[in-house]
Amino acid sequence: MKDFLAAYIRNPLARIGTIILSIVIILTIFAPIIANHDPLTQNLNNVLLRPGSFVNGELFILGTDSFGRDIFSRILYGLRISLPLSGLAALFAMTTGVFIGLVSGYFGGIVDSLCTMVIDIFLVFPLTLIALSLAAILGPSERTLIIVMMITGWMTYARVIRAVVLSIKNKEFIAAAHIMGAGDFRIIFKHLLPNIVSPALVIFTYNFSQFVILESALSFLSLGIPPPTPTLGGMISDGRDILTIAPWVMIFPGILLVVTVLSVNFIGDGLRDALDPKFKRMV
């Protein structure tokens, strides 16, 4: 752990990403305290106020949208939905993909052939098309987003973990475990699983950022979380028609989306280099 932390801290982008993501998480956790307006309250007297406007003793830090709702408050509450939702879906996808990759790589034979065939079938179809189709069929909701993300996110884990297992299952320590009478279950979870934590954790960070973008994209297309619940994608969609009149309605949610995704990717790069320097070359 000491060596890992030292290697991670030496990466400047990893430090920047950690600081930014920490700030974003703190803002979302304390959103009810920090936000000075209700994100759902409409006030037609405060329509399209500019950032920094001070009206009737109330400060609108990032301005208001076309319904008079405070953009700063809506961004904070939108992140409270987007981040946990994406993290939960990425965790489910990682669990599914790691399990399939372990089973496929360790047992081989017909099991490996069937798992590989299923993975290839999913990879044939564009992930965006699968996500749009499922969202349109199941209808917009948080449950739909989790299902869509789980179905479209596990294949990368399975492919990479299978390759890692194939490269280490014939090592001497695995052969020694077989000779000592260890069963398949013990070998998989005690000897193989610890060796795939590093690549799985790195993929998780990229998968998480991908899901944040996917959630925003589906909400932008009105296939994600339905209004009036605030989401970054929904706010960007609301501001596209008034971009020339009130650009702040669209720009601020877009900037925060980019910054959040970049910070997670920076953390992923730092984890990759700190946990397994050879993983970059393997990928």
Q: Which residues pair with 59 in a beta bridge?
A: 54
Q: Does 198 map to a domain?
A: yes
Give the tens place of pLDDT for each residue, 75-106. 999 998 889 988 988 899 999 999 999 999 88
Check residue 58 and report its DSSP letter: E
Gap between the Cα atoms of 102 and 203, Å rounded: 15
The least confident of 47-56, 83-92, 159-168, 174-183 is 174-183
Block residue for tokens 């699983």: 193
Q: Is residue 52 part of a domain?
A: no
Instruction: Reply yes or no on whether the pLDDT at 278 is more than 60.
Output: no
Q: How far apart are CA 97 and CA 111, in angstroms?
A: 15
Q: Which two tokens stand for residue 84?
A: 């946990």
Q: What is the CATH classification number for the domain harbouring 214?
A: 1.10.3720.10
Predicted local confidence at residue 276, as pLDDT = 63
Q: What's the mean pLDDT in 213-235?
A: 87
pTM assigned to the model: 0.85
Give the range of the structural domain holding residue 272, as residue numbers without chain letter. 2-12+76-282
Whether 282 has a pLDDT exceeding 50, the answer reads no
- What's the number of domains the chain is made of? 1
pLDDT surpasses 70 at 281: no
Encode 208-224: b = buried (16+ Cβ within 10 Å), e = exposed.
bbbbbbbbbbbbbbebb
Does 224 have pLDDT greater than 90? Answer: no
Residue where the block lists tokens 């980019």:
258
Is residue 210 included in any domain, yes or no?
yes
State residue 51's pLDDT score: 92
| Distances, alpha carbon 22 to alpha carbons 5, 150, 168, 175, 263, in Å | 17, 25, 36, 43, 9
pLDDT of residue 221: 85
Mean of pLDDT over the chain:
87
Query: Percentage of residues in the chain with pLDDT exceeding 70?
Result: 97
pLDDT average, residue stretch 248-263: 93
pLDDT tens per residue across span 105-140: 888 889 889 989 988 888 887 777 777 788 888 887
Q: Is residue 70 part of a domain?
A: no
According to the model, what pLDDT value does residue 129 have? 79
CA 188 to chain centre: 27
In a domain, 94, yes or no: yes
Domain membership of residue 60 (yes or no) is: no
Residues 45-74: pLDDT tens digits? 889 999 989 888 888 999 999 899 999 999
Question: 3-16: per-residue pLDDT in tens?
Answer: 778 888 888 999 99
Asked if the structure places residue 64 within a domain, the reply is no
Instruction: Give CA–CA dist 242/226, Å, rounded.
Output: 20
**Cβ–Cβ contacts within 10 Å for residue 93, how many?**
27
Give backbone dihedrals phi and psi of 70, rounded to 5 degrees, phi first.
-70, 125
Contact call for residues 48 and 242 (beta carbons, < 8 A): yes
Q: What is the DSSP string of 65-128?
A: -TTS-BHHHHHHHHHHHHHHHHHHHHHHHHHHHHHHHHHHHHH-HHHHHHHHHHHHHHHHS-HH
Distance CA 69, CA 95 (A): 39
Please, which pLDDT band fits residue 277 given cuts at 50, 70 and 90? Answer: low
Determine, yes or no, domain membership for 157: yes
- The residue length of the chain stands at 283
